[in-house]
């Protein structure tokens, strides 16, 4: 008789039923209550997914709207060249936090490596989570950051593990777009359940031209303001009123020019 390598049984999070995962199996459906669970090294947690509400074309449209928005450089939607688009279900650890004062919130942390850390600010649409469906496996990224490691990291950030009342694995649908702008490649993620766009690094409006325009305006008025002072130093009675007049006159003339400069900069950048 040869001994079968028996993997240890684990208890279902929902009904407590004994689950017997095959070796290496991490995604399970409970045969008793039909819950979908994820088997982390140390624990069994619920496994959910968010269903996409956007198809690829709508994902692109969300990206284009974001590119045309105020955060990015002008006309990025027209100047950027889309390089690739990939759809995947990305794993996030889901924590329900309950503070001692009774305040509840949801925390999300990436469960696999991703360059876009902003994802954790995603607002999950309440009540839209569904039981994970094994047919999604081909598009689902497997978690590589263990739950314990992430809880430990949260603790370091000042969120005690005792405040985490619920943990789950959630697979989020997302389009990952790569695009080129002025020879550099950027990544943007469109979360396909809500249409939210995430990007850590993107071609942002340059600040230098605005600072320059502001600097020019300040310099012009500083020069004008010294005229009455210089006049006063030479001959107060005669030149101070004259300097003051010239200062005001030129100041009024300069205003529309400087305004036009600012408007031009705003239109260009
Ligand atoms: Zn069960």
Q: Domain coordinates of the chain in residue numbers? A: 48-198, 206-269
Distance 256 CA to ligand 1 centre (A): 73
pLDDT tens-digit readout, 45-86: 999 999 999 999 999 999 999 999 988 988 899 999 999 999
Contact between 175 and 87 under an 8 Å Cβ cutoff? The reply is yes
Distance 79 CA to ligand 1 centre (A): 52
Distance 43 CA to ligand 1 centre (A): 14
Q: How far apart are CA 133 and CA 250, in angstroms?
A: 72
Q: How far apart are CA 107 and CA 185, in angstroms?
A: 30
Contact between 49 and 173 under an 8 Å Cβ cutoff? The reply is yes
The band of 145, judged by pLDDT with boundaries at 50, 70 and 90, is very high
Contact between 106 and 167 under an 8 Å Cβ cutoff? The reply is no
> 99 to each of 9, 102, 108, 126, 131, how far by Cα in Å?
33, 5, 16, 20, 27
What's the mean pLDDT in 136-152? 93
Distance 9 CA to ligand 1 centre (A): 13
Q: What is the pLDDT of residue 214?
A: 79
Distance 61 CA to ligand 1 centre (A): 41
pTM of the model: 0.73
Distance 32 CA to ligand 1 centre (A): 5
The band of 141, judged by pLDDT with boundaries at 50, 70 and 90, is very high
Q: Which helix (H) or strand (E) is 83 found in, with range?
A: strand 81-98
pLDDT tens-digit readout, 5-50: 556 788 998 899 999 888 888 899 999 999 999 988 768 999 999 9
pLDDT tens-digit readout, 214-266: 788 888 888 888 888 888 888 888 888 888 888 888 888 888 888 888 888 77
Distance 179 CA to ligand 1 centre (A): 44
Distance 131 CA to ligand 1 centre (A): 13
Contact between 76 and 67 under an 8 Å Cβ cutoff? The reply is yes
């Amino acid at each position: 008789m040869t001994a079968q390598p028996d993997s240890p049984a684990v208890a279902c999070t929902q009904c407590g039923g004994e689950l017997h995962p095959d070796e290496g199996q991490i995604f399970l459906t409970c045969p008793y209550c039909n819950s979908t669970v994820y088997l982390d090294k140390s624990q069994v947690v619920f496994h959910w997914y968010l269903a996409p509400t956007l198809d690829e074309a709508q994902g692109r449209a969300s990206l284009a709207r974001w590119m045309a928005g105020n955060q990015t450089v002008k006309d990025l939607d027209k100047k950027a060249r889309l390089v690739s688009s990939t759809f995947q279900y990305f794993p996030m650890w889901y924590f329900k936090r309950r503070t001692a004062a009774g305040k509840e919130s949801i925390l999300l942390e990436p469960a696999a490596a991703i360059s876009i850390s902003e994802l954790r600010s995603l607002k999950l649409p309440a009540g839209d989570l569904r039981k994970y469906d094994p047919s999604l496996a081909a598009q689902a990224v497997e978690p590589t950051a263990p739950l314990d490691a992430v809880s430990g990291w949260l603790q370091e950030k000042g969120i005690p593990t005792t405040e985490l009342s619920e943990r789950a694995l959630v697979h989020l649908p997302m389009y990952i777009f790569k695009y080129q702008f002025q020879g550099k490649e950027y990544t943007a993620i469109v979360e396909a359940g809500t249409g939210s766009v995430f990007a850590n690094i993107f071609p942002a409006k340059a600040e230098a031209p605005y600072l320059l325009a502001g600097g020019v305006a300040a310099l012009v008025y500083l020069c004008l303001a010294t005229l009455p002072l210089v006049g006063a130093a030479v001959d107060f009675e005669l030149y101070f009123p004259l300097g003051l007049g010239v200062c005001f006159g030129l100041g009024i003339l300069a205003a529309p020019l400087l305004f036009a400069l600012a408007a031009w900069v705003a239109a260009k950048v």
